[in-house]
Amino acid sequence: MPTTPRGARARLFLLGALFLGCAFVLSHRLFTYQFLEHDRFQRLASEGHRETIRIVPRRGALLAVGGHPLAVSVGMDAVQIVGKEVGNPQRTADALATTLQMPAAEILTKIDPRSDRPTIVKQRLTSALADQVAALNLRGVSLIQLPTRHYPEGSLAAQVLGFVGDEHKGLTGLELYFEDELAGRPGTLDTELDTGGQEIILGRRVLTPPKQGSDVVLTLDRFVQRTAERQLAEAVQQNKAIGGMILVMEPATGAILGMASWPTYTLSDAIEFVPQEQHLYKAVPVTNQYEPGSVMKVITMAAGLERGAVSPATTVNDRGIAQFGPTTIRNWDLRANGIISMTEVLARSSNIGAQYVADRIGRDEFYRAFSAFGFGQPTGVELPGEVPGTLRTPATADWAPVDLATNSFGQGIAVTPLQMLAAVAAIGNDGLLMRPTLVREFVSEGRVQRPEPHTVRRVIAPETARTLREMMTAVMEQPALEPHRIAGYRVAGKTGTADFPTNLGYTSGKTFASVTALLPADRPRLAILIRLDAPEKIYGGVVAAPILKRLGQELLAYYRIPPAPSGHSDGR
């Protein structure tokens, strides 16, 4: 049937209108995509192939003197499985079990066929083992490199070093205290990836480099630490004690060379947090306080000598008993020593003599001196959880006049072992109190930062310190301690025995037996504190002095400190 021109024109018009409509719709969509929603589509496109990769910085190492690594981070391979991608779970588990030396059943529990999230099967693989796993070429099984913390010296200085958690962040000890320095700052790489997940070289690439963690070189000497730990472990066992500690410090700088305490925990590479062992994770020498007992008489005597209240030749009539209101004070052996000099007050560890010195000083000056020695305030050492100790003064509400007497021989006052050692070390440093430190230097990306030793204050004059060291030498050279002398060396020291305080008073038969010493006496290179907790034989002179002899012999030989030429003096 022939078409009329009119009908043809109408169809042409319709077709034209249709094309025009389509062109309009297309133009509208084009305008919308290119201009109105440009940013959204740009973002969607970027999300498809752009990725911001987090660059994890290397965690800094903790090093001992001489650069010996105590805690280091190393990347190690881990095996991960994406359950959804695994073809045959049983076959995969069997193949991995043989290579990883793990039960196949354990691996099977980690394969969830519905999960598309990777599950770690085993961490800390050696490179050789990782190569074996890769060679298996199992579907759904891949290797991932994770940073892991290692302790090459084992449990050495475990409580001081601390450890890191699963997220590679410090949880205790120096690992926690220096978290910011050790962790560094992560960087980022904003880049474009191809369909295979590989970076497109010609794509836009914005790199923010990471700041690697700083290495911290400690003042700890691994030989000193090891020797202290060994001597302590043997002493605890021999004396049937429940614990103890040995601290070694350099008096001139306050550098802590060794800090051993028992009981401790096992610091392994793959350490797991055990809530029952939480009390062992603390650096006890700074977190726990105790009554130091007779060791404190040295500080009382220092205050007395410095203020001119007494001299080494000053005498006191020790009747063995003194009354303070309702409170009676007695000597440790319940005996009267008669008329004795101040040197004998220290040698015989006379409570009555110490109380006499405190009385001569006067309460305000006495507590001023104790505060100057650092008691009642944290030392500032780089360890978490340090406590200030307890020093009651006339300004505090619960102070009583009898406290002046008891404090003079180390009772009614609580200090941390590190405070006590720092105070005695000040006597060895000619009267300068140094802040104890565990850090020798920070090494960050090639730059070395060495903090200077920090002098807190002068607590006594150099002459007073020398006089006091002579008196302390007399203590260690008394006949009762003769078997524990170090042949060829003069040692200044003081033993102490303090009762265990409880909520119901003091526990009879349980003591803190301790000794603090300066080696050699004339020019001290080492300050040492040894404490045993609840030993079978309760006195410091009996249990701590022998440890001092053994430890001193090893350390003097290690540091090549020559004996005194005459056998009595180091030839100052």
Partner 1 sequence: MSSPVASRAAGWRLGPSTGLRIRPWRMVALALLALIVLAPSVYLAQTGGVLASGYTIQRLRAERNAWRVRNQQLELELAKSRSLAWIETEAITRLRMQPPIDRTIVRVDMPPPSPVAPPAPAVSNPTARFTSRTAP
List of residues contacting partner 1 (CB under 8 A) = 68-69, 72, 74-76, 126-127, 145, 150, 152-154, 156, 198-202, 222-223, 226, 488, 553, 557, 562-563, 565
Q: 261: closest CA among 288, 296, 222, 223?
A: 288
Query: Which two tokens mark 515?
Result: 């000794």
DSSP per-residue string spanning 114-139: T--SEEEEEEEE-HHHHHHHHHH--T
Q: 509: closest CA among 290, 235, 241?
A: 241
Query: Which two tokens mark 202?
Result: 């010609």
Query: Which two tokens mark 316?
Result: 């006191």
What backbone torsions phi and psi does residue 519 show, to the nearest 5 degrees? -125, 135
For residues 289 and 414, the answer to whether their CB atoms sit within 8 Å is yes
Minimum distance from CB of 274 to partner 1 (Å)? 22
Q: Between 147 and 320, whose beta carbon lies closer to partner 1?
A: 147
Which spans in 189-283 are helix H? Answer: 222-238
Minimum distance from CB of 285 to partner 1 (Å)? 21
Q: Between 52 and 278, whose beta carbon lies closer to partner 1?
A: 52
Q: Between 39 and 482, whose beta carbon lies closer to partner 1?
A: 482
Ramachandran quadrant class, 140 (left: phi over 0; alpha: psi -120 to 50; beta: rest): left
Q: Between 108 and 564, whose beta carbon lies closer to partner 1?
A: 564
For residues 109 and 72, the answer to whether their CB atoms sit within 8 Å is no
Q: Between 106 and 153, whose beta carbon lies closer to partner 1?
A: 153
Q: Between 286 and 556, whose beta carbon lies closer to partner 1?
A: 556
Minimum distance from CB of 174 to partner 1 (Å)? 18
Minimum distance from CB of 201 to partner 1 (Å)? 3
For residues 416 and 512, the answer to whether their CB atoms sit within 8 Å is no
The one-letter amino acid at 50: R
Q: How far is the C-alpha of 52 from the C-alpha of 260, rounded, in Å?
A: 46
Minimum distance from CB of 281 to partner 1 (Å)? 20
Q: How far is the C-alpha of 512 from the C-alpha of 415, rounded, in Å?
A: 13
Minimum distance from CB of 265 to partner 1 (Å)? 15
Q: How far is the C-alpha of 301 from the C-alpha of 419, rounded, in Å?
A: 17
Residue 358: C-alpha distances to residues 36, 142, 310, 320, 572 (Å): 88, 73, 10, 16, 32
Minimum distance from CB of 445 to partner 1 (Å)? 16
DSSP per-residue string spanning 43-69: HHHHHHHEEEEEEPPPPPPEE-TTS-E
* First-last CA distance in the chain: 135
Minimum distance from CB of 97 to partner 1 (Å)? 24
Minimum distance from CB of 193 to partner 1 (Å)? 11
Minimum distance from CB of 234 to partner 1 (Å)? 11
Q: How far is the C-alpha of 283 from the C-alpha of 177, rounded, in Å?
A: 12
Q: Between 156 and 414, whose beta carbon lies closer to partner 1?
A: 156
Minimum distance from CB of 74 to partner 1 (Å)? 5
Q: Between 112 and 153, whose beta carbon lies closer to partner 1?
A: 153
Minimum distance from CB of 155 to partner 1 (Å)? 8
Q: How far is the C-alpha of 233 from the C-alpha of 220, rounded, in Å?
A: 19
Q: Between 246 and 299, whose beta carbon lies closer to partner 1?
A: 246
Helix (H, G, I), strand (E, B) or coil at 253: coil
Three-class secondary structure assignment of 316-351: EEECCEEEECCEEEECCCCCCCEEEEHHHHHHCCCH
Q: Between 109 and 208, whose beta carbon lies closer to partner 1?
A: 208
Q: Between 444 and 553, whose beta carbon lies closer to partner 1?
A: 553
For residues 417 and 245, the answer to whether their CB atoms sit within 8 Å is yes
For residues 548 and 556, the answer to whether their CB atoms sit within 8 Å is no
Q: Between 76 and 517, whose beta carbon lies closer to partner 1?
A: 76
Q: 313: closest CA among 341, 353, 345, 338?
A: 341
Q: Please state the length of the chain.
A: 572
